Every structure is written in C-alpha cells, then in structure tokens.
Structure 1
C-alpha cells in the first residue's frame, strides 16, 4: 500500500510565482509539519512557486527529506487575459475539461501533468510521498480519481488542505484528512 499526501499550499499574499506566505501562512506551515509528525515521509515533491516551497519547508526539515521541485506542479493558467467573470470561466472548465481560453491550458491538460507526477510517485518504492501544489491543480487531480469532484469542491478547499491518495492493488482511493 502506497500513500500520497497531496497538499495545497498555505495562505499566501498573492498568486504570482514569487508570492510569499502571509504571517498566518507561516504559522500554517508549522501546523502542517506538526500534522505529519507521526508519519514517516519518504519523499517530498513540490511546485517551484515560493508559497508551495515555504509551505513544506518545516516538514522537510523535520523529516530530513530534501524537496524535489517539479514544474508540472505549478498552478494552472486559466488564461493570459483578465476576465471580469473569472469564477464563471473556471466553473465552465470543470464542466468541459477540454475548454481552453487564450494563453491558458484546459483542465484536461493540467490534469494530465499532475496525474503524471502522481503515477510516477506511485511507481517508486516510497511508501509515503508528499506532493505540494495549488488549489486548481489539486482539484483537477481529485476530479481524475473522483468524477464528482468539481467547482464547488474547489471553492471549499482551505489553505492549506491535505488529501490522502491510497494505492492498494492498483486501486486508488482518496480522502480529505486536513482538520
């Protein structure tokens, strides 16, 4: 049985790749480290965005595990255009995973890249892997394993949030484990 803990980063000051964690986000990163204190972590893979890396730093240090950076875990770009109805556009991409806006990627394309990271992690000999990413990308991964996971579930994610994927006999189950 292999486990992957998928983490959405802690509270951040913005959406840019360089956005820092808020003071509350830094406290949350320490809470995350404590949350995992009774779990032996074998591997940590993170988005290269500062907010993701800073969210996992305390756990990596405590676990003495080096963080691997994977660009496939960066947040999905919905579009390079600014939309006044951004939330509606995003909702539409949950309903039609092939829908693609100018300069962005479809839900299917984003889903494929995070699924690739998860499948590679499950293929390794590690029992407990942590993957740190972003809300939209995490939601698309969860949708891949549970077709009922959608826009409203994305809206209800917290910062941070943690889902556990368990691969037992090539059957993957998921559950939300963050308090």
Structure 2
C-alpha cells in the first residue's frame, strides 16, 4: 500500500514563486510538523515555490528528511494575463477539464502533471508527503473522487491535508486535517 499526504501550503504573503509565509503561516508550518509527529514519513516532495518548501521545512527537520523539490507540483497556470473574470473561468475549468486559455493549462493538463509525480510512486510501499497548491490539489482530488469540485477548492484552507491511499490500483482520499481556527 502506498500512502500520500497531500498538503496545500501554509498562508503566504502572495502568489509569486518567492512569496514567503506570513507570521501565521510560520505557526501553521509548526502545527503541521506537530500533526505528523506520530505518523511515519518516508519521503517529502514539494513544489519548488518558497511558500511550499517553507510550509514543510519544520516537518523535514523533525523527521530528518530532505525536501525534494519538483516543479511539477507548482500551481496551475489558469491564464498568462491578469483577468477580472478569473473566478468564473476557474469555476468553468472544473466542469470542462479541457478548457484552456491561450498559453495556459487546462484542468486536465494540470491533473496529468501531478499524476506524473504520483503514479511512478504508487507501487512503492511507504508514506510520501506531497506539498502543492490549492488549484492543483483540488484537481487531483476531483480526479480521485468526483465529489470534490470547484467548491472543494473554494473551501480549502491554508494549510490543508488530505490522505490518499492506493491499494491494488484502487485510490481513496479523505481530508485528515485543516488549519485550526484561531480566536
């Protein structure tokens, strides 16, 4: 059996590749490490964006593991240009996975990209942590179980954690942790 923990990065200061975590995001990263304290982890693979690697750095330190970065775990490119209608375009892309703006990725392109990271590992027994971004994570969840959709993406927290189990080519996923509310 292969187990993957799919993590959406912690709160960050922006969307740029080098955007750091916010102060709250740094605390969330520590909470993630605490969540995994008693969970065996064999491997950590992360998007190479700063907010993703910083989200998992405390866990990597506590487990004495190296963070492997993989650009295939970067956020999906919905559009190369800023768009006022991006929200509706994103909604549409969950119902029409072939929809693509010029020069950008369709939902299917992005799903295929993250699957290309998971599929070579799905017959290796062990636990792998994958750190990625909200849209890419939601597309993967939808691929595994069509109950996950655009509203899943809207309701993801920073961070968020799903567990994906692969047993005899059967995939199942469940949400196992989301950011605790403060207050």
Q: Given the two structures, how large is their TM-score scaled by the length of structure 1?
A: 0.97
Within a 5 Å distance, the mapping from 1:15-26 to structure 2 comes to: 15-26=15-26
* 1:45 and 1:70 in contact (8 A); partners too: yes
Deviation at 1:106, TM superposition (A): 0.3
**2:127 maps to which residue?**
128
**1:82 maps to which residue?**
82
User: Structure 1 residue 169 and structure 2 residue 168: aligned?
Assistant: yes
Which secondary structure state, in structure 2, belongs to the residue aligned with residue 61 of structure 1? Answer: helix
Which secondary structure state, in structure 1, belongs to the residue aligned with residue 55 of structure 2? Answer: helix
Which secondary structure state, in structure 1, belongs to the residue aligned with residue 4 of structure 2? Answer: strand
Which secondary structure state, in structure 2, belongs to the residue aligned with residue 128 of structure 1? Answer: strand
* 2:33 and 2:56 in contact (8 A); partners too: yes
**2:181 maps to which residue?**
none
Deviation at 1:17, TM superposition (A): 0.3
* 2:2 and 2:123 in contact (8 A); partners too: no
Please identify runs of 4+ aligned residues in structure 1 that moved more than 2 A: none
* 1:81 and 1:102 in contact (8 A); partners too: no
**1:109 maps to which residue?**
109
* 1:10 and 1:55 in contact (8 A); partners too: yes
Within a 5 Å distance, the mapping from 1:1-179 to structure 2 comes to: 1-125=1-125, 127-179=126-178
Distance 2:160 2:44 in 1: 16
* 2:2 and 2:124 in contact (8 A); partners too: no
Deviation at 1:24, TM superposition (A): 0.1
Deviation at 1:121, TM superposition (A): 2.1
Deviation at 1:115, TM superposition (A): 0.9
Distance 1:135 1:89 in 2: 16
Deviation at 1:83, TM superposition (A): 1.0
Deviation at 1:85, TM superposition (A): 1.4
Deviation at 1:167, TM superposition (A): 1.1
Deviation at 1:71, TM superposition (A): 0.8
Segment drifting more, 141-150 vs 33-42: 141-150
Query: What runs of 5+ residues in structure 2 fail to find an aligned partner?
Result: 179-183
Distance 2:61 2:44 in 1: 11
* 1:81 and 1:103 in contact (8 A); partners too: no
